[in-house]
């Protein structure tokens, strides 16, 4: 009954929202008609219907192929990492870089070095790889340790454990990963379309229509992109729900998890650490050698150092890069802090106003399946091309994932822990101060780790597409000027910065959580 009632109220809320949208749109209340009514959008969609198939096909092709490739690589890598922890250590740098890099920053590089659909497929695959790889490693290593003991007690080896317990046991985790990865692939493909070339694709279509100032068409494209991403999410959500029914562990694992493998002595540990740092550069170098693109266009790590520090134009290059950073970094931090702050306040207050937040939660969850950054052109219509735009893009791409992470984390706090203060007559506020806020700490850090790269991506997209400032703009300009050194430098610097910020958050997280005796949330 309760589920039924909440479903009805959800439908009711959605209907109210759509009605409001329609009224606001029809009356041109937002920025002189930048937000058309839903029926106007659908009408335009119908008029443009002949344009769509090829654009949709191009985006679907790139994201679909990228999805398949990214998942194959991700699952294979995940299995290897789970079986050989040393490999995981060596590839740590690569994995963090893939997770943290703003896709828009490397899109121009991929366009320079690869041809045809390959850049789009690669970016889509990279968006998928990290999610699936992580899910696979977690799924395999967290397999029931008692079941593992059982196989070993009959003389079974590592392969038997993998075959009989771990692979099948990892399926729910992997499916959950695929669910998140599917919209990522669509986003990656669209970002690559923004980043360069090609005639077809929803991203190309969106960019081409931005200059013509036709809000109803832009919104139509945005709607189609959202529906594609949402459907891909829903498909895997359905699949994983089917599979989960038969796979959820039926009892709690009471066994103490195995201790981490014996501590490495300093020398091998140092070597592994160095390998982890060297690996991304090695892959960068190998990628260039493999593609065989001439040195003029493709820069090796050494080429970038030469361009930034040794070459004739080094001084001017440094100056331009630093000026761009000075524009980009402050707004990245402000946007991220604002997004995180809103998310934190809202998640905490969900304890005070559970019903209001429960009504908001579906909206927040739906945004998780939306290629939010790819919808920046729509925000340009409403907010113009100023700093406000950058800020709002950044806040919107950080707020939603942070809120979902925090809200879902807080839902895991045992009810008894929350009821204890209440049993002694504490007020709601005391309860929140004593239980909810401390308990949210691991999730706040998890949300921060998640949002650091997204914030930089949001800022760079806004700069690239609209504001004409900062790193994003520098990257876009350098494409026009055929300034290959700068393209590679901006890419390298933005990836390096993302990794650096990510690592800083990780270090602070470890320190703080260790002090308060908590462990980090996945």
Partner 1 sequence: MQVPDGIALDGVGKTFAGRGKVVEALRDVTLSCPSGSFTAIIGPSGCGKSTVMRIALGLESADAGQVRIAGAPPLAAARDGVTGVAFQDAALLPWRTVRRNVEVPLEVLRQPLRANAAKVQAMIELVGLKGYENALPGELSGGMRQRVAIARALVTHPKVLFMDEPFGALDQILRRQMNLELQRIWAETGSTAFLVTHGIDEAVFLADRVVVMHANPGRIVEVIDIPFARPRAPELFSDPAFHAVCDHIAKVLHGG
Interface residues with partner 1 (CB under 8 A)? 144, 146-147, 149-156, 160, 164-165, 168-169, 171, 246-254, 259
Closest of 503, 381, 402 to residue 451, by C-alpha: 402
Residue closer to partner 1, measured from CB, 255 or 278 = 255
Instruction: Give dist(CA 288, CA 285) in Å, integer.
Output: 5
**Residue 359 CB coordination number (10 Å):** 15
Q: How far is the CB of 165 from partner 1 (least distance, A)?
A: 7
Q: How far is the CB of 519 from partner 1 (least distance, A)?
A: 16
Instruction: Give dist(CA 390, CA 397) in Å, integer.
Output: 11
The answer to whether the CB of 113 falls within 8 A of the CB of 287 is yes
Distances (CA, A) of 236 to 171, 172, 239, 482: 12, 11, 5, 42
The answer to whether the CB of 522 falls within 8 A of the CB of 507 is no
Residue closer to partner 1, measured from CB, 1 or 260 = 260
Q: How far is the CB of 140 from partner 1 (least distance, A)?
A: 15
Residue closer to partner 1, measured from CB, 82 or 383 = 82
Q: How far is the CB of 242 from partner 1 (least distance, A)?
A: 12
Closest of 297, 480, 195, 288 to residue 307, by C-alpha: 297
Q: How far is the CB of 148 from partner 1 (least distance, A)?
A: 9
Sorted by sequence, the CB contacts under 8 Å of residue 140 that are 6+ apart come out as 78, 79, 82, 83, 162, 166, 167, 169, 170
The answer to whether the CB of 340 falls within 8 A of the CB of 398 is yes
Closest of 492, 195, 474, 187 to residue 328, by C-alpha: 474
Sign of CA dihedral 120, 123, 125, 131: negative
Residue closer to partner 1, measured from CB, 12 or 146 = 146
Q: How far is the CB of 369 from partner 1 (least distance, A)?
A: 27
Where residue 469 falls (left for φ over 0; alpha for ψ -120 to 50; beta otherwise) is beta
Residue closer to partner 1, measured from CB, 227 or 249 = 249
Residue closer to partner 1, measured from CB, 7 or 152 = 152
Q: What is the DSSP letter of 256?
A: P
Closest of 161, 155, 227, 178 to residue 72, by C-alpha: 178
Instruction: Give dist(CA 167, CA 464) in Å, integer.
Output: 43
Using DSSP, state whether 60 is helix, strand or coil. Answer: helix
Residue closer to partner 1, measured from CB, 252 or 516 = 252
Q: How far is the CB of 139 from partner 1 (least distance, A)?
A: 13
Sorted by sequence, the CB contacts under 8 Å of residue 176 that are 6+ apart come out as 135, 240
Q: How far is the CB of 160 from partner 1 (least distance, A)?
A: 5
Q: State the Cα angle at 13 between 12 and 14, rounded to 5°.
A: 90
Q: How far is the CB of 257 from partner 1 (least distance, A)?
A: 14
Residue closer to partner 1, measured from CB, 7 or 163 = 163
The answer to whether the CB of 317 falls within 8 A of the CB of 489 is yes
Residue closer to partner 1, measured from CB, 212 or 248 = 248
The answer to whether the CB of 344 falls within 8 A of the CB of 432 is no
Q: How far is the CB of 54 from partner 1 (least distance, A)?
A: 43
Which tokens hold the place of 84? Answer: 């050989």
Instruction: Give dist(CA 335, CA 395) in Å, integer.
Output: 5
Residue closer to partner 1, measured from CB, 244 or 274 = 244
Q: How far is the CB of 138 from partner 1 (least distance, A)?
A: 17
Residue closer to partner 1, measured from CB, 153 or 423 = 153
């Amino acid at each position: 009954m309760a589920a039924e009632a909440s479903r009805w109220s959800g439908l009711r809320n959605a209907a109210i929202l759509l009605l409001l949208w329609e009224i606001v749109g029809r009356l041109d209340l937002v920025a002189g008609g930048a937000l058309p009514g839903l029926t106007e959008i659908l009408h335009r969609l119908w008029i443009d219907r002949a344009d769509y198939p090829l654009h949709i096909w191009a985006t679907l092709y790139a994201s679909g192929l990228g999805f398949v490739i990214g998942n194959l690589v991700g699952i294979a890598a995940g299995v290897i990492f789970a079986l050989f922890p040393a490999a995981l250590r060596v590839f740590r740098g690569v994995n963090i870089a893939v997770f943290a890099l703003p896709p828009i920053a490397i899109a121009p590089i991929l366009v320079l070095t690869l041809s045809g659909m390959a850049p789009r497929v690669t970016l889509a695959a990279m968006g998928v790889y990290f999610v699936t790889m992580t899910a696979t490693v977690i799924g395999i290593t967290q397999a029931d340790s008692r079941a593992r003991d059982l196989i070993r007690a009959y003389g079974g080896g590592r392969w038997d454990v993998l075959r009989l317990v771990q692979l099948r046991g990892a399926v729910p985790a992997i499916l959950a990963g695929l669910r998140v990865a599917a919209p990522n692939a669509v986003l990656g493909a669209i970002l690559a379309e923004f980043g360069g070339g090609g005639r077809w694709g929803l991203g190309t279509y969106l960019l081409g229509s931005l200059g013509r100032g036709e809000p109803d068409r832009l919104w139509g494209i945005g709607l189609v992109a959202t529906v594609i991403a949402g459907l891909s999410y829903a498909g895997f959500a359905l699949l994983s729900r089917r599979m989960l029914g038969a796979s959820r562990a039926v009892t709690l694992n009471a066994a103490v998890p195995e201790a981490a493998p014996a501590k490495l002595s300093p020398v091998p540990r140092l070597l592994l650490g160095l390998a982890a740092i060297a690996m991304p550069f090695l892959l960068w170098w190998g990628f260039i050698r493999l593609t065989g693109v001439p040195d003029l266009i493709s820069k090796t790590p050494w080429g970038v150092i030469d361009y930034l520090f040794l070459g004739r134009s080094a001084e001017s290059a440094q100056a331009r890069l630093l000026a761009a950073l000075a524009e980009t970094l402050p707004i990245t931090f402000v946007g991220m802090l604002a997004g995180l702050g809103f998310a934190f306040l809202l998640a905490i207050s969900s304890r005070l106003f559970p019903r209001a937040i429960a009504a908001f939660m579906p909206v927040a969850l739906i945004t998780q399946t939306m290629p939010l950054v790819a919808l920046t052109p729509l925000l340009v219509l409403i907010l113009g091309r100023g700093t406000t735009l950058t800020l709002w893009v950044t806040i919107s791409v950080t707020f939603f994932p942070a809120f979902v992470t925090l809200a879902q984390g807080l839902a895991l706090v045992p009810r008894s822990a929350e009821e204890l203060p209440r049993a002694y007559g504490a007020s709601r506020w005391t309860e929140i101060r004593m239980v909810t806020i401390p308990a949210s700490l691991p999730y706040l850090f998890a949300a921060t780790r998640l949002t650091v790269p997204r914030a930089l991506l949001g800022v760079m997209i806004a700069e690239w597409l609209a504001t004409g400032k900062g790193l994003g703009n520098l990257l876009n300009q350098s494409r026009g000027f055929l300034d290959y050194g700068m393209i590679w430098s901006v890419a390298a610097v933005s990836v390096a910065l993302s990794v650096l910020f990510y690592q800083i958050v990780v270090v602070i997280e470890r320190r703080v959580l260790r002090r308060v005796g908590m462990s980090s949330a996945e």
